Structure 1
Amino acid sequence: MEIPELRPAAEVITTARAILAHEQARLAALLGEHELALVGGSSVPGALTKGDVDLHLRVPAAGFGAAVAALREIYVVVRPEIWQESLATFEVPGAPLPTGVAVTPVGSEHDTRFRRGWQLLAADPALVDAYNAMKLRHRDRPEKYEQRKSAFFDMFMDPR
């Protein structure tokens, strides 16, 4: 089994931004304080993407449980086996592209990793090239892909 065909982020970024705007409006009516951002390969010019959209929802630590409960009402729970006290993951049903939402409390390890990792990647063309090379090397091994992607971010992330 292969990862879906990789394509340049430029092919999906307009749709990804429209999905972000739609979900921002949707969550404004549902949640209190929060921030929703586009992350993932589809958010980085020059990056390769599977054509999916990754959103990162940051909520105050005290509101994490309530936010997760509210999201269960509108989104589909995905990968519950990776959930932690500071991470929950969902899928947006009916989006024009496959769209996932990772929810983290502000200031948590997962929050820093999502926010800072993608900021660093987007700011460094050499990292984008290395990211693309990693994806191309592991596209035919989906069982290793997520592990390799995590290790890639570990190489340049400093949580301080």
Structure 2
Amino acid sequence: MERPDLPGQVVFRLHPDQGVARHAAVRLFECVEKDLRALLPASADVRHVGATAVAACLTKGDLDVVVRVEADAFADADRALAARFARNEGSKRTACFSSFEDSGTVPHLGIQLTVQGGADDCFHLLTDALSADPALVEAYNALKRRFDGEPMEAYREAKGAFIRDVLADQGI
């Protein structure tokens, strides 16, 4: 979404109906989880993460899923996901992390593939931290409210700093 005063810039927007957004994400996760389990090794850990996985956390209305695999299963899992989903070209790709998306789903679907215990294996930890601490959710919501209607890049920078702080507080 763009703002007229910020041509060419994507703008961060909270979903106008948080209940509808959360319900849609949960329903989509139920379907996607089945598909992923059919594609991936039985040992893969498939989790709903992000704002829609945390009660009372504000969301822009997308679904984030993390797939965690052992290091020796990463390459095969990456190939399997790449055969089914588009790579997220705006995201980094390493030997232990890759990202996929499906912009044809409602809501938009993002899938992060990580090696268990790897440097980028933190998505579930943030979700767990938020789920355990209502004050942390409120702080995250305040950040989201502050950036609602602002450039996505600025929101992502602030969100990244928030996440780094949360994970550092968790000793990660």
**TM-score when normalising by structure 2:** 0.84
Q: 1:58 to 1:27 in 2, by over 3 A?
A: same
**Is the Cα–Cα contact under 8 Å of residues 14 and 144 in structure 2 kept in the other structure?**
no
Q: 1:86 aligns with which of 88, 96, 102?
A: 96
The answer to whether the 8 Å contact 1:7/1:49 transfers is no
Deviation for aligned residue 1:145: 1.3
> Equivalents in 2 of 1:8, 1:43: separation in Å?
16
Deviations 1:65-108 (A, max 9, x none): 11111111100111355222221111135322111001101111
- C-alpha distance 7-60 of structure 1, shift in aligned 2 (>3 A): farther
Contact 1:20 1:36 in 2 (8 A): no
**Partner Cα separation in structure 1 for residue 108 and residue 70 of structure 2:** 26
Q: If you compute each CA radius of gyration, which structure gives the higher value, 1 or 2?
A: 2
Instruction: State the Cα distance separating 1:10 from its structure 2 match.
Output: 3.1
1:159 and 1:153, CA in 2 relative to 1: closer, same or farther beyond 3 A?
same
Q: Does 1:64 align with 2:74?
A: yes
Amino acid at match of 1:155: D
- Structure 1 runs (4+) deviating above 6 angstroms are none
- In 1, the alpha carbon distance for the partners of 2:171 and 2:73 equals 23
Match of 2:135 in 1: 126
Q: How far apart are residue 4 of structure 1 and its match?
A: 2.7
Q: Which consecutive residues of structure 1, in runs of 5 or more, have no partner in the other structure?
A: none
Report what 1:148 is aligned to.
Answer: 158
Distance of 1:13 and 1:6 partners within structure 2: 10
Structure 2 unpaired stretches of 5+: 3-10
In structure 2, what is the Cα distance between the partners aligned to 1:38 and 1:153?
17
| Aligned match of 1:106 | 116
Structure 1 residues 81, 92: CA separation in 2 closer, same or farther (over 3 Å shift)? closer
Q: Could you tell me which amino acid in structure 2 is paired with residue 78 of structure 1?
A: N
Q: Which residue identity lines up with residue 55 of structure 2 in the other structure? A: P
Residue of structure 1 aligned with 2:12, choices 3, 18, 27 = 3
Which position in structure 2 is the counterpart of 1:12?
A: 21
